Amino acid sequence: MQAASPQRKGHQPERTCAGCGKADERDKLVRLVVDEQGGIAVDLAGGSFGRGAHLHPSVVCIEKAARKGLSRAFEGVHCEPAVLAALLVEAAERRLQGLLSSATRSGYAVIGFDAVDAGLAREELAATVVAHDAGSCAQARSIQQAVSQGRAVSWGSKATLGALVNRDEVADLGIRNAKIAAAVLSTCRVADSARSVPEVR
């Protein structure tokens, strides 16, 4: 009996997108499941049991999956593109709040522009989250460099970020933990893509 060949280091299992029909690494896709009421639910953390379908978080794939792919994957379950996109945004918002709260509780968060700026300069941060209303902070060289490297995202308001770390307002929040940072970055991109679907804000 021939031994199975070892899996390549760093190789991710592949899944097929219900929108475009192409196979891709699981981490690049969003998992969808059917909830107890028979509707579509988004499983961003990948912890839900049951049959799932996978989806690239892109406008094209969201629209194609809603129109045709999901009804095949889930035997007749139908979901309008705008509704599916709204579900993705809502799930992403909840997950981001949980991830940022977890980073703060675990001591992996760096809070405020000065601390983030210094952390980026020392290359201690895996990612940074910049509030939509951060103002001139968002134009700082360190933040712009992090944006160009794909390590910075814009999310929430200063009040929203502040509430997550028990402060009135926070313009920037850095994350030292690589795993949490990767989850924050990918979840923000899911929300941004879903918001680009027509009729979704």
CATH number of 93-195: 3.30.1330.30
1 pLDDT more than 50: no
What's the confidence (pLDDT) of residue 6?
45
pLDDT number for residue 5 = 41
Residue ranges of the chain that CATH labels 3.30.1230.10 = 14-92
Whether the pLDDT of residue 10 is over 70: the answer is: no
Question: Can you tell me the mean pLDDT for 114-138?
Answer: 96
- The pLDDT of 168-193, averaged and rounded, is 95
Instruction: Considering the chain, tell me which residue range(s) the CATH 3.30.1330.30 domain(s) occupy.
Output: 93-195
- Res 70 pLDDT > 90: no
* Residues with Cβ within 8 Å of residue 34, at least 6 apart in sequence: 40, 41, 50, 51, 74, 77
3-state secondary structure of 152: strand
Q: What global pTM score does this model have?
A: 0.85
Nearest to 83 by CA among 52, 50, 53, 42: 42
- Residue 50 CA to residue 39 CA, distance in Å, equals 13
Question: Is residue 44's pLDDT more than 60?
Answer: yes
Tokens describing residue 4: 């199975």
- Residues 14-92: name the CATH superfamily: YlxR-like (3.30.1230.10)
Lookup result for tokens 């107890």:
36
